[in-house]
Structure 1
Amino acid sequence: MQIVLHIAIILLTIAAMEAFSWFIHKYLFHGPLWFIHKSHHSERHGWLEFNDVFSLLFASISLYLMWEGRLDLSYKFWIGLGISVYGIIYFIFHDWFIHNRFKSFKSTNPYLLGIRRAHKIHHKSTKKNPSEEFGLLLASKKYFSQK
């Protein structure tokens, strides 16, 4: 029964990270933290960009929580693990599949193609505003009905 609880904590953390990421992306990254995030909306020269500091921040929080909960595998450990899993998903979806930081893999999966379309719309603007589609795993239905 304990494993079910741990899996539930991880899955809830992933869902919470998607909601939290959408919120901070819309209201902080495209708000007062635009001076950092704008590097992500510009042409990249090299493998890293200033915006990657956000990934380092979330990785640090995740590692801290796992460290704090390591001895008794408390809820902190499982929340930290959920944040890490979300980070891995982010890396695969966003950095690899959408932004081609490595040779992009091809897909005909309608969900993946819809997510890619939504993200490309988000990046149409190189300005702070206007912008739309701030999520990673969820996007408006309209992006999934296109061929």
Structure 2
Amino acid sequence: MTALSAILTVFATFAAMEFVAWSSHKYIMHGWGWAWHRDHHEPHDKLLEKNDLYGVVGAVASMSMFAVGSPLVLGERAWAPGTWIGLGILFYGLVYTLIHDGLVHQRYFRWVPRKGYAKRLVQAHKLHHATIGKEGGVSFGFVIARDPAVLKRELKQQAQQGIAVVREAAD
């Protein structure tokens, strides 16, 4: 692989991971995988959550791609793009950890953004947590955040239709 194609593979993988994260969050974490995700939506004072197991799944995916791309592991059967895909997954995981766990949930540091995209990310994810239970909801991505005003309208509509139970503070 050329250096340019390796770099493009890393960036393409990083971008694709937002779609993977959005869809797995919406359809797995808020679906059949709710047992691992539930404690993330409930108040607690534990250092770790069952939800953190999803990060382990992401790390295994990244390490698996590194192994697929490694001549040390697979010899001549190694697939070079695997290394760069693994790196893209790793970078997404690091950004997810900083934005979601660090900035939004303040698990690692305390900073409340007053403006800009960081504020929009925090607002969008807080609106995601405005529902009670796994049904309905908005803002399932982690890096891309839609306009909070639009998300509020969607939540209100879901509540009116009986799709989601929305906490009082979300109004």
One-letter amino acid of the structure 2 residue matched with residue 60 of structure 1 = V
1:68 positional shift: 2.2
Structure 1 stretches of 5 or more lacking a match?
A: none
User: 3-state DSSP class of the match of 2:108?
Assistant: coil
Residue pair 2:139, 2:146 contacting (<8 A) in 1 also: yes
Aligned counterparts of 2:128 and 2:148: Cα–Cα separation in 1: 14
TM-score scaled to structure 2, two decimals?
0.78
How has the CA–CA distance of structure 1 residues 143 and 115 changed in structure 2, closer, same or farther, with 3 Å as cutoff? farther
Identity of aligned residues (%): 33
Structure-1 separation of matches of 2:21 and 2:70 = 25
Report if aligned partners of 2:37, 2:51 keep a CA contact under 8 Å in 1: yes
In structure 2, relative to structure 1, the CA distance for the partners of 1:3 and 1:109 (3 Å cut) is farther
For residues 5 and 141 of structure 1, the distance between their equivalents in structure 2, rounded to whole angstroms, comes to: 34
Distance 2:115 2:14 in 1: 22
SS, match of residue 102 in structure 1: coil
- Give the match for residue 122 of structure 1: 128
Number of positions where the alignment pairs a residue of Structure 1 with one of Structure 2: 144
Structure 1 residue 43 displacement after superposition: 1.3
Q: Give 1:1-147 correspondences, 5 Å limit.
A: 2-71=2-71, 74-142=80-148
Q: Which runs of 5+ in 2 are unaligned?
A: 72-77, 151-171
Task: State the alpha-carbon separation in 1 of the partners of residues 58 and 113 from structure 2.
Answer: 28
Matched to 2:4, the amino acid is V
TM-score normalised by L of structure 1: 0.90
Q: Cα deviations across residues 5-37 of structure 1 (Å, max 9, x unaligned)?
A: 111101110111101110111111111111111
Does the Cα contact within 8 Å between 1:115 and 1:143 map onto a contact in 2? no
Aligned-partner Cα distance in 1 for 2:23–2:30: 10
Distance (Å, rounded) in 1 between the aligned partners of 2:95 and 2:34: 23
Contact 2:41 2:129 (8 Å CA) reproduced: yes
**Rg larger for:** 2
1:131 partner SS: coil
| Residues 109 and 74 of structure 1, relative CA distance in 2, 3 Å threshold | farther
